[in-house]
Structure formats: C-alpha cells, structure tokens
Amino acid sequence: MQLICSPLTPEIAVLKLYWVSSGRMQPFIHYFLHFVFPGLVAYTCYRKNWRNVYLILVLTMLVDLDHLLARPVFDPCRCSINFHPLHSYQAIGVYFILLIFPKTRIIALGLLLHMATDALDCLF
C-alpha cells in the first residue's frame, strides 16, 4: 500500500485509487510529461525547428531550481504549486502573459507545461 499524501476528497478519490494502486504510474507519468510530451508538442507544432523548440521546452525545467530554497529540498508529500516562488499563482499568471509575445511564447509554453505537470502531482 502506498502513502497517499494529498487530502482524499470525493472528487479525486477515484483518480487516487486508480493511479496510486500500482505505485509506479505517478513517476512514469511525471517524467513522461516532463521529457516525452514536450518532444511531441515540439514535433507536432514546430516541425521545422522541433529540435531547438524541444531543447527550449526541456530547459524550462530549470524553473525547478526554486526547489533549492525549500527545506527539505524534496518532499514527496508536498505540492509544488503555490509553494515554491517560481511555481506560485502569480508566476503562473506571468507565464500566461508571456504567451502573448512571440519571442517568449515557446518559453512560456514550456513553463506552463511544467506547471501543469506539477499540478497533476498534487492529485497523488
């Protein structure tokens, strides 16, 4: 039986029972969404320069450097969203604004994909 860290509410109980029961799906999904899914997005949406776009999307994971400010640095029961400074609601709002500008659009996309992935972790 795996430890369930986030509160078990009726809305997410079914998700928790389905995904957590194996104990191995959450890390797989997390790293798939951080590394494979951005590649699929880059190849599908930016086929001409997909390698460069994929590199930028992966480099946006540097946003996780704000985890170094937390004590402990890693806590499997902690939801990153609105805990770390670069994962705050205000920062996410800035990332949405960055979508408007063509020069920052790919970076903003990578940051928002990252935040969505981390938000999914809050369900586990």
Rounded CA gap, 62 and 59, in Å? Answer: 6
Q: pLDDT averaged over consecutive 10-residue blocks of the chain (124 residues)?
A: 49 51 72 93 96 97 93 84 95 98 97 94 80
Residue 75 has what pLDDT?
81
Rounded CA gap, 118 and 45, in Å? Answer: 22
> Is the four-CA dihedral 44, 47, 51, 53 of positive or negative sign?
negative
pTM, rounded to two decimals: 0.80
Q: Give the residue extent of every domain in the chain.
A: 10-121
> Is the four-CA dihedral 7, 8, 14, 17 of positive or negative sign?
positive
Could you tell me what percentage of the chain is helix, strand and coil, using 3-state DSSP and rounding each to the nearest 5? 70, 0, 30
Q: Which amino acid is at 107?
A: I
Residue 4 carries which DSSP code? Answer: P
